[in-house]
Chain A
Amino acid sequence: MHIPDGFISPITYIPAYAASAGLWYIASKKVEIDSQNISFLATLSALSFVFMMIAIPLPGGTSAHLSGISLLALIFGPWLSFVAASLVLVVEALIFGEGGITTLGINILAIAFIGSFSSYYVYKVLKKRNETLAIFLAGWVGVNLSAIFIAFILGIQPIIASIEGKPLFFPFDIKTTTLAIMIPHMLIGLVEGAVTVILYRFLKKNFKVMFDER
């Protein structure tokens, strides 16, 4: 899902960087974490990193990956999840070349911000009806809303950055990107939802201290 360098026009990635920086500033004001919780946050951030590095093959020859961000959002809240996931994306982009440097702002908005907040609010709205379903849908929606944003950003490139009808950056239109990105992510969302349910239940049972303080 990470967009590499060269796919996105400056007219898109510069505002995305500005928006990400703004969100980081707000997060720095809102986030409060004590030193006792850092080890859990570090462990789940590392797990998120591992999930993002493992490509799961899908029918049709494509692959996608889990993110683990919904788990972070459900346990630590959306702002702390946003900060931790952003950190993971920065490490991936700067050290491993997973996702571009110029597109880091977009990847942070899509994966860390949209992923964290959508997962958290889906869970919050639905948890009174059925908690397990709420956790599952938090995972599914988090992955798919991030994917829709990525598909949208890629798909508008031919419209906003082309000369005489020739695209300067990503060449495929929004219909193509939506189909190519959403079909695999609708499937991977099922795995993300299931993994989120299993890990959330496991952590709640075995590491109660993480939940008691909230």
Chain B
Amino acid sequence: MKKVIFIALFAVSLFSHDLTHKVTEQKAVVLSFSFGSSEDFSYQPYEVFAPGEKIPFAVGRTDKLSRVVFVPDRAGIWLIKVISEDGHGKEVEVKVGEDFEIKEYSKTNFEKFQKIFVGIALIFAIFIFLQYFIKRRER
């Protein structure tokens, strides 16, 4: 009897080391990286830092589609670092809201100023047309 009880207790302790799992749907933050052409940034190392943390919340490699995907557990500014072996890399800050929605994220200089670039180009284009018509009239 003692043997049976011992084996039963041992079996319970075995169960306690079984890795359980569950599958849920959650809001994830997805960052896609590229070099702006067909060159991708797949399978490159990344680190994700929670707001104010020095130890990474997640580490891994970008997926086949050059993405970093993580599920934040708190609001604040999350830092994502991607670094490739050939020296390319980037740090992106993502501000996550109370409902885990993306409030804002650090944009590239082109994204920040593209409105201004396009606007300046348009205004100059209009004036170039104007100059063409005035020159024709002056002739």
Contacts and interface: CB of A to CB of B under 8 A. Distances in A.
Interface of A: 33-35, 38-39, 41-42, 45-46, 49-50, 53-54, 87-88, 91-92, 95-96
B119 A95 contact: yes
A91 B131 contact: no
A87 B122 CA distance: 11
14 contacts: A33-B134, A34-B138, A38-B127, A38-B130, A41-B127, A42-B127, A46-B119, A46-B123, A49-B119, A49-B120, A53-B119, A91-B119, A91-B122, A95-B118
The DSSP consensus for interface residues of chain B is helix
B126 interface: yes
B123 A34 contact: no
A34 B124 CA distance: 16
Contacts of A53: 115-116, 119
Contacts of B116: 49-50, 53-54
Given A46-B124, A53-B116, 7 more contacts: A38-B127, A41-B127, A42-B128, A45-B127, A49-B120, A87-B123, A88-B123
Contacts of B130: 38
B22 interface: no
The A contact surface, by secondary structure, is helix
A33 to B, nearest CB: 7
B135 A45 contact: no
Contacts of A49: 116, 119-120, 123
A42 B134 CA distance: 14
Contacts of A88: 123
B126 to A, nearest CB: 6
Interface residues on B, range: 10 to 19
Interface in B78-126: 115-116, 118-120, 122-124, 126
A185 to B, nearest CB: 22
Given A42-B124, A42-B127, A46-B124, A35 B119 contact: no
B70 to A, nearest CB: 31
A88 B126 CA distance: 10
Contacts of B138: 34-35
Contacts of A54: 116
A38 B134 contact: yes
Contacts of A45: 123, 127
Contacts of B120: 46, 49-50
A79 B24 CA distance: 65
